[in-house]
Chains A and B, each alone.
Chain A
Amino acid sequence: MSERPINCTIKQPVLLTITDTKSEFHSGCRVLDISLSNVVNPERKEENVDQVGEIQFKNYYVAYLTVKAKFKSGPDTKEGENKWRTCVKRMRLMPNAHAETGSQDYFCVSRKHMAFELVNISALRLILQQPSPVWKDFKIEELRFFKCSETSKPCLLPSWLTEVTNNSGKKKIEAEDGNNFHVAPKEDDGILGISNLELLSATLQQLWALSEEVAANQTNVVLGRYEVDNCYDINLLSYT
């Protein structure tokens, strides 16, 4: 359950205004751009490197949230295809835009809120909306992105651990088929599985316990020998 935060650059939110400097028109809409870093993790090439699993933030008087995503242009994407797509549409953060409820809550936008998986994306755009003029300012704080938690993908056991059952099954079939039971297993020679890891573990723990028990039961009583190590050394004795 290790959630890994994603490195990304969050730009300053831009308040949408109508291009008229004189009239102070409050559009109630802000745009926040996030560019995801393009650092490829060399260890996990086979996985979707830039998969965003979760978006966490603290609300500050935002009523609706929309998330748009821009996909990376791969070799087979045509020109103009990598445009913005809406991933979360007008998610309601405050039940009533004029009331306090939900205005300063923590939110977590996870996969179930999203229309599609955020895989292979280059940028995200958050659109914050606050239709109510009651509030002076609206923004989101402590914005963080996380990769998918790994719980959905249980770690697969390596083949040499799990193969033993398959192998015995294979062997049996071979034996039934054409009694070539003793033919050496082809390529799995030497990497056959441990049949019972639990038994192994239990045995080892017992051994540990036994050793510790003995260590605890060692006596300090001495037999009362007068010998000191090396005191009967011939060189020492010859001096006296």
Chain B
Amino acid sequence: MAEKRKPNAADDIQKETERQFLERSGVAALYKDVLEKIIANRPEDPVAFLADYFDSVEENTSLIQRAEQIMKMTHHSRPLFQTNVRMAYDLLKKNKASKKLSGVNGTMFTQLLKALCRDIPSVVMQKLMQKFECHSHEAIPFDVFRSGVFTCCVLQDYVKLSEQLFGSLDLQKTGKANKALCDAVLEQLNTALGSNRNDTKRILESGYNLGVDGLYMALDTAMGRSHKNSSLQTCDQFLVEMCETFLSKVSVIK
């Protein structure tokens, strides 16, 4: 932030008014900005939002961190997310004027995606990065940027939900669930995702299959088929398999 404090600033403090002080130290602009952002984003946890914001404002934060913070300001399901993505893109684009060239290149894009995916299992992240593999010299258009960032944000939710799903499949809470059950659930999801988005009948069928009745039938048959000593699956294995389903929907950038 723009701080032009003179060495003998303490003497001036007495003379200047409060407003002048705020403006000189840049606090006014900072607060204006954060208030604008918090009102626009309406976060569920405003205090955490403020903390994140001020973290990113620190001078030693990298562009990537700041872009990540902007991205995390609002949930990806909200319309404002698109605006934030644009903001982050512009931020990355503008400040890359170290040489003659400016703009978002492959390195920054990859770094940002990795930062966004910090919480997800590394195996899944590797697979995701294969989809978004790009060279450091390549310029990333906004559409590619948006698509990649959006995928990462959704994937985080997806992983969380999958963990939750595993929790309800892990009946004895031992950290391992019956593989037959897991496979049945996965298969249901795969069939649903396999349906063409224009084929209404298939979509309806898939919807039913994922409903309580359909799921019950599928699980019942799965349990019927599996033996008592069937193999078990850990949460990580399950997550990887679930994410593979997800990643099959992500297209490779060209």
**B144 interface hit (Cβ, 8 Å):** yes
In the bound complex, CA of A223 to CA of B105 (Å): 11
Q: How does the 8 Å CB contact mask read for B178-215 relative to A, with 1 for contact and 0 for none?
A: 10010001001100110001000000001100111001
Which chain A positions have C-beta within 8 A of B19? Answer: none
Q: Tell whether, in the assembled complex, residue B144 and residue A219 are in contact, meaning their CB atoms are under 8 Å apart.
A: yes
Which chain B positions have C-beta within 8 A of A206? Answer: 161
> Chain B: which residue is nearest A222 at the CB level?
B254
In the bound complex, CA of A200 to CA of B177 (Å): 14
On chain B, the number of residues with a Cβ less than 8 Å from chain A's Cβ atoms is: 52
**A79 interface hit (Cβ, 8 Å):** no
Residue pairs across A and B with CB atoms within 8 Å: the count is 125
**B245 interface hit (Cβ, 8 Å):** yes
Which chain A positions have C-beta within 8 A of B212? Answer: 197-198, 201
In the bound complex, CA of A5 to CA of B76 (Å): 54
Do most interface residues of chain B lie in helix, strand or loop, or is the interface mixed? helix
**A1 interface hit (Cβ, 8 Å):** no
Q: Which of B41-49, B89-97, B115-123, B147-155 contacts A (4 or more CB under 8 A)?
A: B147-155
**B228 interface hit (Cβ, 8 Å):** yes
Which chain B positions have C-beta within 8 A of A211? Answer: 158, 189, 193, 245-246, 249
**A195 interface hit (Cβ, 8 Å):** yes
Q: Tell whether, in the assembled complex, residue B215 and residue A208 are in contact, meaning their CB atoms are under 8 Å apart.
A: no
**B171 interface hit (Cβ, 8 Å):** yes
Which chain A positions have C-beta within 8 A of B18? Answer: none
Residues facing A in B14-59 (CB within 8 A) are none
Q: Tell whether, in the assembled complex, residue B161 and residue A201 are in contact, meaning their CB atoms are under 8 Å apart.
A: no
In the bound complex, CA of A200 to CA of B242 (Å): 14
Which chain B positions have C-beta within 8 A of A216? Answer: 197
In the bound complex, CA of A189 to CA of B162 (Å): 25
Q: Tell whether, in the assembled complex, residue B138 and residue A195 are in contact, meaning their CB atoms are under 8 Å apart.
A: no
In the bound complex, CA of A205 to CA of B165 (Å): 11
Q: Tell whether, in the assembled complex, residue A196 and residue B158 are in contact, meaning their CB atoms are under 8 Å apart.
A: no
Which chain A positions have C-beta within 8 A of B245? Answer: 211
**A215 interface hit (Cβ, 8 Å):** yes
Q: Tell whether, in the assembled complex, residue B185 and residue A204 are in contact, meaning their CB atoms are under 8 Å apart.
A: yes
In the bound complex, CA of A204 to CA of B238 (Å): 14
* 28 pairs from A and B in contact (CB 8 Å cutoff): A157-B216, A161-B216, A161-B220, A164-B171, A190-B228, A190-B229, A193-B171, A194-B168, A195-B168, A195-B171, A197-B219, A201-B210, A204-B192, A204-B210, A204-B215, A212-B193, A212-B249, A213-B154, A214-B154, A216-B197, A218-B147, A221-B141, A221-B143, A221-B144, A222-B254, A223-B134, A223-B141, A225-B254
Residues in A lying within 8 Å of B, measured CB to CB: 157-158, 160-161, 164, 189-201, 203-208, 210-223, 225
